Amino acid sequence: MRDATGSPTTSYYDYIIIGGGTAGCPLAATLSQNASVLLLERGGAPYNNPNITRLSAFGAALSDLSETSPSQRFVSEDGVINARARVLGGGSALNAGFYTRAGTKYVRNMGWDGALANESYQWVEAKVAFQPPMGRWQTAVRDGLLEAGIVPNNGFTYDHINGTKFGGTIFDRNGHRHTAADLLEYADPKGITVLLHATVHRILFRTRGTTKPIANGVVYRDRTGQAHRAYLKEGALSEIILSAGTLGSPQLLMLSGVGPLAQLEAQNITVVMDQPHVGQDMYDNPMNAVFVPSPVPVEVSLIEVVGITGEGTYVEAAGGENFGGGGSTGSSSTRDYYAMFSPRATLLESNSMTKLSSAQPFQGGFLLEKVMGPLSTGHLELKTRNPKDNPVVTFNYFQHPDDLKRCVRGIQTIERVVQSKAFARYKYADMSFEYLLNLTASTPVNLRPPRSGPGASLPPSAEEFCQHTVTTIWHYHGGCVVGRVVDGDYKVIGIDRLRVIDMSTVGYCPGTNPQATVMMLGRYMGVKILRERLTDK
């Protein structure tokens, strides 16, 4: 990999992949085995940055608001603070590391070949997946989930099965993160060029003398602003593949003239194809967390155990006295957790926590629930013509009543875990669950209007808690959904030599954490495309 500064003004490749993220890296590595590949990443490298590589520094990168941060913050119109990756490896360089496959039913519903999907998962796992340490606090959460009826105990497994399990992690036993960028170790060095700080501004199309637009190149700029052009080599098998993520892929399609006509005209963008579904069908799984202070120390851990309830929610946990101590702030885990969502959200500022903070350092953890699906849908719109600017995004959390019902059931499951005998050691006996909800709800984790009215001082109901403390778990998806923007082979409908392969094509989140499946999909589609290439030669 090298900085895009100094790269040729004009170059030619069999495949141009836009976005070196969770899907783009395995895709590029695979295609390089039998073709020439250009991988364009707008961010830098994940290596030699302890805020990325060290488990103990989790959250530091997400709360870094600088222009050179590997994370680019955005706030949805719903008032929920979110982030998009700006680094080689994509979201796998920023997330909490949980590694778990999609269920077999999900694989079937997506129309994927089960055998090839399984081989692709194994290809990924050989480089980046590990068994977590499974410390005492996480084990207490597991036993609490089992006591709460989330059975059976499925032990340690990558598989998505109803019940309680320990899943995998991309952090090794030394607490070192392994990202999708590590999958580039599979690449043929002679077949791949990886450029960093290379921001694609638009895709180029040939439209004259053709029945439909044909993608034939891209314009990208290096960090100095210098423009470069990369073109596809001649031949019907050469392709441009968008893997720029749920925000980046629909945004770049629109910036290139493919999207809803009114939006393109409003931004004075030359229309290549009116495609009303680009940027539509956007989803983000709501996440709500309950902070549980502990009277005894808690080991540092991110997501390891999960309860797959069968009722539309997943219950997970993260704990420890200090997530962020290895980062630049040295803040407590609780402060660092909230700092990920809002610069002004610091639990120490909460009046209800003053008595605890004065008595002892914060220790404890978060039990969180994620709504599966979800069923509520939103949309994305261009704000400017600058690809570095965030688009305007609305997710409409809990717009569908079933999402709220699922959240309530998830909070009820968390209550049963907290009240279980297995978890008793890690909870103050005199702290009721209502107190814990009020404690958590008193801290501003989002920019939604605070609770008001006569009941605002009372503990919130589960419904109120879900609405007022909703955050993201960074599993947002959609915007270029299969069947609407791309076909079953991820080819953009109505355009030749252009595909989208990333989470923007998904209309339903795969399992408890999508990163394993997105990495798998990059490998899976790389193998399929190479097979087509060899067959057609």
Return the CA Rg of the chain.
23
Please tell me the distance from the alpha carbon of residue 181 to that of residue 174, in angstroms, as a whole number: 19
Please tell me the distance from the alpha carbon of residue 97 to that of residue 57, in angstroms, as a whole number: 12
Contact assessment for residue 446 and residue 164, using Cβ atoms and an 8 Å cutoff: no
436 HSE (CA, 13 A, CB side): 26
Q: List, in sequence order, the alpha helices (H) in 299-425.
A: 333-339, 354-359, 401-418
As given in the structure block, the two tokens for residue 78 are 């719903």
In angstroms, what CA-CA distances link 458 with 100, 230, 241, 432?
A: 38, 60, 52, 13
As given in the structure block, the two tokens for residue 496 are 């030749």
Number of helices and strands in the chain (H, E): 13, 27
As given in the structure block, the two tokens for residue 132 are 């977590």
Is 201 among the catalytic positions?
no
486 is in an annotated binding site: no
506 is in an annotated binding site: no
Q: List, in sequence order, the alpha helices (H) in 298-386.
A: 333-339, 354-359
Q: What is the sign, positive or negative, of the torsion defined by CA atoms of 92, 371, 503, 82?
A: negative
Which residue in 354, 1, 302 sits closest to 132, CA to CA?
Answer: 302
514 is in an annotated binding site: yes
Q: Which helix (H) or strand (E) holds 526?
A: helix 515-536
Provide CB contacts within 8 A for 279, sequence distance 6+.
250, 251, 254, 259, 260, 263, 379, 380, 381, 391, 479
Please tell me the distance from the alpha carbon of residue 210 to that of residue 208, in angstroms, as a whole number: 6
475 is in an annotated binding site: yes
Q: Among the options 178, 228, 379, 475, which is catalytic? A: 475
| DSSP 3-state of 157 | coil
Compute φ and ψ for 25, nearest 5 degrees: -65, -50
Please tell me the distance from the alpha carbon of residue 347 to that of residue 341, in angstroms, as a whole number: 12
Which residue in 203, 107, 152, 11 sits closest to 517, CA to CA?
Answer: 107
Contact assessment for residue 142 and residue 315, using Cβ atoms and an 8 Å cutoff: no
Please tell me the distance from the alpha carbon of residue 76 to that of residue 296, in angstroms, as a whole number: 37
474 is in an annotated binding site: yes
As given in the structure block, the two tokens for residue 358 are 């004065």
Query: Tokens 């069947």 label which residue?
Result: 483
How far from the centroid of its chain's Cα atoms is residue 388's Cα? 19
37 is in an annotated binding site: no
Positions at the binding site: 87, 200, 474-475, 514-515
Question: Catalytic amino acids?
Answer: 475
Binding residues for FAD: 87, 200, 474-475, 514-515
